[in-house]
Amino acid sequence: MQGEIHRRFARLRDLLDQQLAEGRHLGVAVCIYQDGEPVVDAWGGEAERGRPWERDTRATVFSTTKGVTATCLHLLVERGKIALDDPVVRHWPTFARKGDGTSKERVTVRHVLSHQGGIPVCPEGVTRFEQTLDWDFMVHEMEGLLPEWEPGTVNGYHAINYGWLVGELIRRVSGQRVGAFLREEVAEPLGLEGVDIGLPEALHAKVAPLEAPPPGHRPTEGPNEDLRDPTSIAARTILRPEGDLVDFMNTPAARSAEYPASGGIATARGLARLYACLAAGGTLDGVRMLSPATLAQATALQVPEGRRDIVLGVPLRWALGFHKGGEYSATGPNPNSFGHAGYGGALAFADPDAKLSFAIVLNRMQNELQGGFRVLLTVKAVYDSLADATA
């Protein structure tokens, strides 16, 4: 690993060096802030074969993007432009249509952020990834969906739809597309290096192409048995549209498109700095992003402890756009931690009790939605290092 790793995190350096040597990563970058200051800012391996990972290399971070998008919406809550318990139709009148005794008129902003809105499935008319490049088309498809359950009664991960649902609310309330709002209202004020939803063409050369997951493993062969039933909500959410997602996300068109659920392109440094602000109560280096009250609302647990997410097949401690920490969480062992993992291994979170933020980005994919074992080991190394320092 190159860059800076404070001596108290020697465990993390040793682990990352070992993972690189064993081929667990092609390239990887990790950044940690503690007490508002960077204590780890390191990278290693290759962006692609024959090209080393450099300080400013960026990576597609998949659903780690959701926490970034949520922060943008909470900023609009902070400004009084939208409220968590507003019906979505208050801001997006064409969102709802009635049918089958269930109405989207009862879906609230809170439901959408906490994956309780009932509309996670890929629309029937969306059969190719290329269709998702058209924002207006996808918004229209969101309008046509009917809830799979009574909003607010079940949580089921809105893996891709979250992006158009939350992103369109941001657009309608602020008048800006989510990428511009992120850049002007969050990234520039906080001085974030390399966090984009919709990457400018001039920066494409900085991106590490994704390397496909190893052969021999498919989502339908994993522990979530619901994925083996093509009619299940889980299968209609996770396994559609059909095609090679990794190949698609490596295309210039996908990198430039706005995917607020799953298409952010970022450095670990930029993500860790964003979460450092949130870990510090919403203010960093004199820049206030969110008030403590807004942040407390955003990170409050929204679902009963232990309730199974019907898309992911496991319990998740959903807050509003974030999942919270705990014994089996990618976002750290502290129940008060919050952040988001991404398909393939990307992860970013804040631990307000430890006054710490953590981010990892990488390019060798694994078939994991919640970080995966190699990433969970890096989180463990961080907390073991903290324990060593206080022993």
CB 14 within 8 A of CB 256: no
Residue 178, pLDDT > 60, answer yes
pLDDT digits (tens, 9 = 90+) for 10-57: 999 999 999 999 999 999 999 999 999 999 999 999 999 999 999 999
**pLDDT at site 194:** 95
Distances (CA, A) of 258 to 64, 72, 138, 248: 14, 14, 11, 14
The predicted model gives 168-184 an average pLDDT of 98
- The range of the structural domain enclosing residue 23 comes to 2-390
236: nearest Cα among 126, 135, 154: 126
The predicted model gives 63-73 an average pLDDT of 98
Domain count for the chain, please give it.
1
pTM score? 0.96
Find the CATH number of the domain harbouring 118.
Answer: 3.40.710.10
pLDDT digits (tens, 9 = 90+) for 90-133: 999 999 876 555 678 999 999 999 999 999 999 999 999 999 99
Catalytic-labelled residue, pool 63, 174, 357, 385: 63
The predicted model gives 346-370 an average pLDDT of 92
Residue percentage of the chain with pLDDT more than 70: 96
Phi, psi angles (nearest 5°) of residue 16? -65, -40
103 noted as active-site residue: no
Chain centroid, CA 5 distance in Å? 25
**pLDDT at site 221:** 59
Residue count (the chain): 391
The predicted model gives 300-312 an average pLDDT of 96
